[in-house]
Every structure is written in structure tokens, then in C-alpha cells.
Structure 1
Amino acid sequence: MSSKFIEKDNKIKKIMILFFFILFLLIILLISIFDTMKSFRQLPSLETSKKELSVRGDIISKDNFKITTSKKIYKASIDTRHLDINKKELFIKLFSIYSNIPYTKLEKKVNESLKDPGNLVLSYNIDSKTAKNLKELGFKLRRLGVFISRKVQGGKILRGLSVIESGEKRLYSYEDTLTPVVGYITKFESKNGKTKVKGIKGLEKKYDDLLNNSKDGILSGNRDVLSYISFNKNSTIKQRVDGANLVLNIPLKLQKNNEMILDIYKEKLKAQEIIVSIMDSKTGEIISLASSNRFNPERIYQKDIPSLNVNAIEYQYEPGSVIKPISIALVLDKGRIKKNELLFAYNTKGKANKDGEFPRGQYKLGRFTIKDDHQFKKHYLTLDDIVIFSSNIGTLQYAQRLSGREFYEGMKKFGFTKKTGIDLPYEKTGVIPKVWQFAANDKKNEDNVFKATVSYGQGMTATFMQILKAYSAFNNDGVMVTPKIVSYVEVEGDKYIDKTIKNEQIISKKTADEIKRLLIKTVNEGTGKAAKIEGLEIGGKTGTAQIARRGKYLKEYISSFFGFVNDGENSYTIGVTVMDPISTGKYWYYHYASWSAVPVFKEVIDNLVKLNYLTPKNDIISN
């Protein structure tokens, strides 16, 4: 046989080997494609459409921290009729690793379901990152044969691990910060069966419609082997629109620092609650509204129930002497107080003590006797004496210069008996008696008694926020501002500011300046001395009132200090109210505002200085 023939034969053999090798590869490829198509037939329809769940809007602090936000949650479930019993343990182990749910907890659920096989929800509360991982796990489990097909009429079906959007969860990133103002929510099931939330109290309630004003997105297209939608020119994509965001006037750091101050003083004073608010005197922007009584909206316990209300607007109480500057302002504004005039102190019964102080004044009004707390070294009082040393007798004498109707309408003009307009729900209005209605049967001079007691803050009720709003007029040329917590509402990137809020000139600038002078003098020389800080203009008025319940006064007190602070550029109205501080034992005097509310007021101002909201100036003389 020639060498040429042998060489030709070898070439043919090589070609045949190559041909069969290629044929073998083609067969393997066809088998693979067939297997893949078989897998596709076991998956849901390749054409798919689904909604992308939108969520509730965020509540954001002035310094851009999310106080509360919402996140989507997912539900993971299986049909235990499709679970291969021989691979049950493998499934539980892998699902536990991917979901971070304890193995024993999953094992118990699966075993219980296998007694009566069917749909089993493994978790309703899976975050988006875990959901993505579990979807990939679902594909791997099918490859591992963990789930098996079931015969049904018309063919076979295979159901594996299902991970779908189940709703949303509300998160409070800083736990009890800014509560109860921020409020809390409750869950409900929407029309499409998803878990949604709605506000019950606080800002969550007030702005519920805007926070929940959202639209679900729509995604449609072909589904790939991992159950994700593959997008192309024929797909439909409609972006989801989440609810509106609330951006507050309150910075997080300032709020948290104030809450820390209140926590310390609540323990020191053994108080039931302490409330503090700081408001811009010119704009009404609330930059802090803090309470010592707070709760975590994600975990509300039985003990938290008394803390759920915003007592700054919902609790009505007799405010005491903080009302005196308001009553005197009404008389001043009518021009019925003469310059340098003197009022009798009604303190001539008895001799002066070793310090030259006469007995406390006693003023007879019908069958009532009204007393002063302060002892004076003289029998006649100036306007400055009456305000600085908080004389009940001097204040009521001024109030008698107004008719009952004038006095009532004046108090109403200052905002009492009506809501402040703050953007919180469930605000109360307080009560002031219509004193002129008693004049028709005025045999016992009841008209004068009501004017007298209300003039120094008894026989009436008000809320903390009503008093704060009223005091803004003294630091703003007689203009009273409306308190507001939300700076603006953000909808799809656009800002919306409430422009319906109106401020009101309630007294003249001349009257406001005179009351402001008296309040500054009260801090420099009177009951508010503990609030004094060099380089800042500070004024305010103390008030200590007994708590009334069922028509009787208890041996429990509410101590307040309302006032203002200015540094020449920034101007704030500040209120502090201490509910039921200790009034017995070694520290019995803590119930006086000068020992409780005033020190808290000073700490709040120190905090404003530390955080650069105020800068003490050398040219501001505080004495």
C-alpha cells in the first residue's frame, strides 16, 4: 500500500472523528436547550406585569435627618405540597441562612404545615435586600430539586419559593426623639391586600393625607429565569410616586439636646412632666417642642399611654401669674394706666418685720379675700413693682379698669378660647368665663371677682401653646405670630409652603415695648433672676399655680416661665412648664417656678448659645 493512500485514509479518519465529536456536542446542546425549555415551562408565564408598591412619605428634620421613614417589606411563602420531604432539612437550612430567621423557628413552621400541606407564609417582614437574595435562592432551590411538580388536571405545576411585596413598615430612626409631636401610626390592609399605615396622633395624623398621597408604579415585560423583568422597547415602565415628605423647622440636634435637659430635670424635680418650646418671635417657626414624657412609636407599651398626647396643646390648666403681663397689657393698650401712678398694696394690717417688710396684702372683694405672696417694704406699688414681684392685688386693680366685655374680648384677642393654628391635631382651646354675663344679677359683685381672678391666671384654663403664642407679641412689636412646626411639604421634588398663615397686630408697639421692658426687669431684679445671662436680652414671667380637680385645689402645682431671648440678630420666644414638681420634704420649694421652670429656661438658652443659635454681644447690657 502506497504512502499516499495511507495518508489519505488517515485524513478521512480524522474528519470522521471530528464529525462525530461535533455531532456529540450538538446533541448535548440540544439536550441542554430542551432541559432549559422544560424549566421555562415550569415557570410562570414569560409575559408578566406587576405593580411596584409606593410608600408613605418621610418626616425630615431641619438639618436633613429622617425622623421617620417607610420601607417596603416582602412576604416569603412556599406551598408545602411541592416540598420534597427528603430535602426539607436542606431547604430550612438554606432559607435560615439567607433570611436570618432561626432554624428552629422555621422548622416548627414547616413541620406544622406538613400535617396539612398547603400555602405557608414563612415571613411577612423581609427587607428589600433580603428579598432580592431570597429570589435568587428560589432559583437555586429549583435547580437542586427541592421542589417537585404536582399533577393537576391538564398537566403539571411547580411552585417554589415565592417572594412578593407585602406592604410597608414605618421606621422611627431615633426612637423616642420628637415624640409625642411626631405621633404614631396604625396598620391597615389596602384594597390590593397590601399592608399600609395611617397616622393616629401628632404630625403623622395631621398630614396623613399628604404623607399617604402616593401612586404605585407599573412594570411589565418578559420575565427571565430569575423571575426578574427584562426590559425592552415593548416594556411598560411607570415610576412609583411615594407620599409627600414633611420638612420641619426643628433641627434634630437642638431637639435631642433639649430632651436630654428635660430628662435630667424631670428626675431632679420629681416632676410628672416638663414641656419646653422655642419659637422664632418673628416668623412663628417652632425650632423645638420637647417633652420629658416620650415613647418609641414602633413599640408602644401600656406604660406609654399617658405620654401619647401632645400636652403642649391638649392639656388645659390654670396658668397662674404668667397671665399677669397679658392682663396689664390690655389695660395699658386702652391708655388706662397713668405714668408713675401708685396703687395701694393693702398691707397696712400689722407691723413691719425686722427686714422692714410689711405683712402680705389682703384685698376684700365681696365675700372673697385675695392675697399677695410677696411682702413689700412700702404701702404703695408702682407698675414695675406689680410686674416684677408678681402682685395679685396690683394686677386685679388694673383689671377692674376694664369692663367685663372689654377684658374678655381682650383675652380672646390674645388667642385664648381659640386654637393657636399650630399644625397638630386635637388642639384644645381652654376656657375663660364671659365675665359680663354675671353683671345682670350683680348683687355680690361677681363681675369683679371673675375679672380679678382671671387677671392673675386663676378661674380660667389655657394651653401651653396658647401662652407661648401670646408672649410672642411682647417680643415682636405687638404682633402675635402663629406657631408652625412644618417648614414645607415636598411633593415629587417641589416645595409647597402654607401661605395662609397670618400674623396679627394685637397691641400697639408702645404697649409691647413697655411690657417687654417690665419682663426684662423681672429677669434682672425679680423672680426670674436665675435666667439671666450676660450679653443677651432676656425677659420673662414666672407663674406657680395649684392644680384644680373636680372643683378643688390640690397640693400639686404647675410651675411655668414664659419669656424671650434676643442677641440683636436672632429673636426667640420660649416657654417652660413643669407639671407637679416635688412640693414636700427637703425640697418643698421646688414647686416655685423660680426654682424649677426658670433654671430649665436658662439651660435651654445655654443650649441655644452652644449650638450657635444665639451669640452673646458685649453691647447688650443685661442689667
Structure 2
Amino acid sequence: MTFVLSIFAGRLIQLQGLDSKVYAAEAAKQRVQGEKLTARRGSITDAAGHELALTREAREVYVDPSEVKPAMRDQMATFLATELGQPKQDIATKLAVPGSRYQKLASAVEPSVAGRIMQGASKLKFKGLGTRSRYVRDYPGGDLAGTLLGFVGDDGNGLSGLESTYDTLLAGRDGEQIIETGRAGQRIPMTRSTVKAPVEGRDVRLTIDRDIQWAAQQAIAEEVKATGARTGSVIVMDARDGRVYAMANAPELDLNDWRRTSPENWVNRAVTDVFEPGSTNKVITAAAALESGALRPDTAMRVPDNIRCADQVLRDSHPHPVERLTFSGVVATSSNVGTIMAAQKIGDQRLYEMMRRFGFGAKPGSGLYREEGGLLPDWRNWSGSQRCTIAYGQGVSVTALQTASVYQTIANGGVRVTPTIVAGTTDERGAFTQAAPAARTRVISERTARDVAGMLEAAVGAEGTGNLAAIDGYRVAGKTGTAMRYDAECRGYCGYTSTFVGFAPADAPRLVVLAVVQDPQKAHYGGEVAAPVFRKVMTFALKSQKIPPTATRPSASVPIRTGR
């Protein structure tokens, strides 16, 4: 007996003396539980405060299969399948998982539904069911500004769009609660409890106007469908300060069902897709020629329908005899040959530098997710034919936002304003803080901008290529663009990019609208494909912003043709 008791005594000394700290720490580890307190994600709203993305409270429904009696599984599966709207067999499988203590049945159930389930489970004496609070992201507009806003994953982190760009700001900081629990998971009374409160995410207010955004999405979606095109984009900007009122894409992304959409359609094509701008680029050539003094809007030019550049003969869009045009007429009729003749008067380096000043070859600076800067080759590396084609927008690549920014610069008297999409944010107390003013850069003189605007107004006139963009009662300035489209799939130029971009009112610009349609099948000229989209969106935006006609007429406008 003495020997046996000595063994017990030795063991007690080991447990309570030598190894006491180890066992105490192990016991505390099993007893002390930490629980993450998820921070509520901030909302994304339009300029008027309407919620485009918000966080709502929901419930996760789970089950502990070890507590579910085999005899109750069928009845329990039937009950849960009815309440959760799920196949009974799927639930029955989870209820019977051997050795499992946790199976998630639903992740985002309305609190009222979760409450009803727990009440029904109590009446039917089901064991093992439980719920826990969680937050889910909701997008009231469905696909409204879908690719612009982006979405969050199951872990609540932003995966694309503004949800990703402003993830840290929107997410806030999670908190933590530490409690002591017994073997069955119940809290032990009178024990320690530590709570670190979560910091809620901030709200982000955009410059987007949800009504204009909706109108832009409708217009571009209809045109893409009508022409059998691949994709399309529309941008609406304030000509004076670069605020973006709408940024629409077709197809657009339904944010409440993004998992069913191919990843290639998750991106905001208005800032990620690069393309050759075609004739919309002629305004830069015109601005360079006017700024240098090489030409004036009324300069008379004899324009044939073709011109040799190195080893190639480049042509206008249609055959014609030698035309007597003013430089303004060259832009209005979108003559490739006339534009090349103008570019030859100013030289490659000066044209390249003007494109750089307008923002080509660099990201626009909006900060949008995956924003691209296009491609502008150094003028020293231009090939013989490229020295001519770049003048009318082939051989250089841009995004839709870069192109819209060029016309914003012209509409704003030659001052480029960095495009802005975020109006401001809220702090922890909900106070609104306005975003810093966008950077402003003088690109061309006010006189040059005014002269180019007059040339663009002629392009929307009766003899111009953009006459389908005209709006009754308003003076409109704009330019068509029809460019051959490079396609990696066919490893060459396949199809066309059709564009129209302009501003109104032409004599006191307020709004800039760009419409671009990629690879239309039933027509391809920018004047017939993109100009009608511009007209629809601009008309709606002018009315929505309550911008009246200026009631003026073009004064001493330069004629398109000359008799000399």
C-alpha cells in the first residue's frame, strides 16, 4: 500500500508542481474562446446618396450532425428543405455526415426566416440546429454600374471594381470577443470577458448619377444587341471638372449573380479595354496643327482620295475626285488624306508631344480598378506608314476614358482635368469629407480649343459625318471614329471599332458623352452605329441635369468647302 500511495503522490507532485503551468495553459486554451466581431462594410452611393452597394444583416444556419438522432433525420430534412428552399437530399446528406460537429446549411438567410426555423425546430424538438449573425453584401440595382462597382467574395473582401480599389476603406476593422466556455460550449458565469469593438467601414460617395447611368446602360445594351456587336461602352463626364456621371458597359454584370458570369465580363471595359481610336484622334492632329500655326480652320486644301506613305497607298473611306476643302472641312468630313497632309506640316515629334499632353500613353489617373494607359510608340520608332496612320488614329491604342478625357479638355477651353469618380467619403462619425480637387493641366491654348470646337460642331452639321448625333434645340460638337479592330484571336485586323464622342452645348460645354461599340456586324461606321447612342444619352443627360439650350447660333462659322 505504501508503494502504491507513493506512486500516486509522485504523480500528484508532477501534475500540481512540476507540470502545473503546462496543464493550466492547456485547460485555459480549451476554456478560453475567441470570436471575431465582423465590422459592417460601408456603403457605396451615387452622387445623391442613393445606395448602389450596401451591407445588410443576415443569418447563417448550421447543424451539428452528432446531435441529430437518426430517427429524426428524415423529418428534419423535410422541414429544413421547405424553409430554406433547398433539395431535401442535400440537407439529409449533411445531417448524416459521420464524425462531423458542424455543417453549414445556408449562409445568408433573412433574420425573420432564421427565427422561424429556430422556433419550428424547438416545437418539433430538433437538436443540433443553430444560427449565427453575419453580414452580406447587397446591390439594389442588380447590374446598375455592375462592372464599375465590382463585388466581394464570401470572406467579405472586395474582388473587383471599386469594391477592390477601396476595400480597406469600406471594410473597416474587425473586433474580437474573448469568453470562457464549458465543455458543451456554454459560457461560464462570472468568468472574464474581453471585447474589442469593431470599427465600421466608411461609406464612399461617387460622382455617378444613377438615372444617367441607367439611361447609358440601356442605350449601349440596345445598340450592341441591334448591331450584333461584341461589347460597348458609354461615358458621361462633366466638361468643367471631369466628374464622371455614368460609366456603362455592355454586357453589364449582375452583381447579385456574378458567379454565373464569365470572368471576362467582370471587368470595367471603359477603363481596361484598349483599342485604336480611329478618326476621333483627328482632333489631336488638328489641335497640333492649329497650335503650331501651320494651319487655320479656314486654310484651303486640295484633298485627293489617296496619298502614298512609304510603301503604302492610304485612302479615304470612299473614292472621290480632288476636293477643295477648308481644314475645318477636313475634320468635318473625316478625311484621312487631309489629316495626313496636316500632320506632315507639323512633323512626327510635334504630333507625338501633343498626344502625350492629351494623356495618351499614360493612365488617365482616375484610380479605377485595372485602369490601363494604352500604347503610344515613341515617334523615333514610327514606321514609314505609321507616320501617316497615327495622324488619324491607327497605330496608337487608348481606352474609352482616355478618349473622353481628350474631348473634355477641348470642351474645357484646353484645360485637362483628371477624371473623377469618387466625390468623397465618410469618417467614423458619419461626417462627409469631400475628395481633393482633381488636377488641372493646360494642354492647348483657349483659342485653339475654341477653333477645334468649331470644327467639331461642323462635323455634326448636315455635311458632317456625325449628323445623326444632332439634338434639336442644342448646339452639339463631336466626332465620329471608325477604326479597324485588332483581334488577338484572328491575329490581325478583324472587324471595326465604331465611336462617337462629343459635347454640348457646343458654345458653353457642360457635358461630354462618348459611345464606343466593338465589332458591330450589321454596320460599322461610327456615324451610324455610335452617334445614335450619343444622341440618346446626351439628350437624357441634358434633361436630367436641367441644362437648357443656349439659344445661340454658330457665329461666322468656317465653311467646309472652298471655291479656290
- Per the shorter chain, which TM-score range? 0.7 to 0.9
After TM superposition, give the deviation of residue 340 of structure 1 in Å: 3.8
Mapped partners of 2:120, 2:537: distance in 1: 56
1:535 counterpart (461, 473, 490): 473
Change (3 A) 1:338 1:319: closer
After TM superposition, give the deviation of residue 321 of structure 1 in Å: 0.8
Report the equivalent of 1:332.
290
After TM superposition, give the deviation of residue 261 of structure 1 in Å: 1.7
Mapped partners of 2:75, 2:475: distance in 1: 73
Report the equivalent of 2:336.
392
Report the equivalent of 2:148.
181
CA RMSD of aligned residues (A): 3.6
Moved more, 61-70 or 320-329: 61-70
Change (3 A) 1:94 1:200: closer
User: 1:491-530, aligned counterparts within 5 Å?
Assistant: 491-492=427-428, 493-499=430-436, 501-525=438-462, 526-530=464-468
1:57 and 2:39 are equivalent in the alignment: no
Report the equivalent of 2:8.
none
TM-score with structure 2 setting the length: 0.81
Report the equivalent of 1:305.
263
1:461 and 2:388 are equivalent in the alignment: no
After TM superposition, give the deviation of residue 259 of structure 1 in Å: 1.3
On the 8 A contact 2:176/2:197 being kept in 1, the answer is yes
Where structure 1 has 5 or more consecutive residues not aligned to the other structure, the ranges are 1-46, 148-159, 188-195, 348-360, 439-445, 584-589
SS of the equivalent of 1:397 reads: helix
User: 1:541-620, aligned counterparts within 5 Å?
Assistant: 541-549=479-487, 554-566=493-505, 571-583=510-522, 590-610=523-543, 612-617=544-549, 619-620=551-552
SS of the equivalent of 1:480 reads: strand
Mapped partners of 1:468, 1:82: distance in 2: 63
After TM superposition, give the deviation of residue 533 of structure 1 in Å: 1.4
SS of the equivalent of 2:452 reads: helix
1:271 and 2:241 are equivalent in the alignment: no
SS of the equivalent of 2:252 reads: coil
Moved more, 541-550 or 129-138: 129-138
On the 8 A contact 1:464/1:577 being kept in 2, the answer is yes
On the 8 A contact 2:360/2:402 being kept in 1, the answer is yes
Mapped partners of 1:372, 1:378: distance in 2: 11
After TM superposition, give the deviation of residue 571 of structure 1 in Å: 0.4
After TM superposition, give the deviation of residue 52 of structure 1 in Å: 3.6
On the 8 A contact 2:62/2:102 being kept in 1, the answer is yes
Report the equivalent of 1:417.
361
Provide Cα deviations, 1:167-220, integer angstroms capped at 9, x if missing partner.
543322222221221223333xxxxxxxx2222221122112212223337598
User: 1:79-478, aligned counterparts within 5 Å?
Assistant: 79-83=64-68, 106-110=91-95, 112-113=96-97, 116=98, 118-127=100-109, 129-130=111-112, 133=115, 137=119, 140=122, 161-165=129-133, 167-187=134-154, 196-216=155-175, 240-300=198-258, 304-338=262-296, 340-345=298-303, 347=304, 361-373=305-317, 379-437=323-381, 446=383, 449-478=385-414
SS of the equivalent of 2:146 reads: coil
On the 8 A contact 1:570/1:614 being kept in 2, the answer is no
Q: Percent identity?
A: 24
Report the equivalent of 1:190.
none
Change (3 A) 1:337 1:221: same
Question: Which has the higher Rg, Structure 1 or Structure 2?
Answer: 1
Give the aligned residue type for 1:411. M
Where structure 2 has 5 or more consecutive residues not aligned to the other structure, the ranges are 1-31, 556-564
After TM superposition, give the deviation of residue 106 of structure 1 in Å: 4.1
On the 8 A contact 1:538/1:564 being kept in 2, the answer is yes
Change (3 A) 1:97 1:426: closer
Change (3 A) 1:126 1:186: closer
Mapped partners of 1:414, 1:146: distance in 2: 69
On the 8 A contact 1:536/1:565 being kept in 2, the answer is yes
Give the aligned residue type for 1:613. Q
Change (3 A) 1:257 1:335: same
SS of the equivalent of 1:322 reads: helix
Greater RCO, 1 or 2 (C-alpha within 8 Å, sep 6+): 2
Aligned residues: 519
Provide Cα deviations, 1:45-70, integer angstroms capped at 9, x if missing partner.
xx999654213222222233322223
After TM superposition, give the deviation of residue 619 of structure 1 in Å: 1.6
TM-score with structure 1 setting the length: 0.74
Mapped partners of 1:209, 1:281: distance in 2: 31
Report the equivalent of 1:586.
none
SS of the equivalent of 1:608 reads: helix
Mapped partners of 1:495, 1:228: distance in 2: 41
Give the aligned residue type for 1:215. D
On the 8 A contact 2:40/2:172 being kept in 1, the answer is no
Report the equivalent of 2:26.
none
Change (3 A) 1:582 1:55: same
Report the equivalent of 1:29.
none
Give the aligned residue type for 1:176. D
Report the equivalent of 1:23.
none
After TM superposition, give the deviation of residue 241 of structure 1 in Å: 2.7
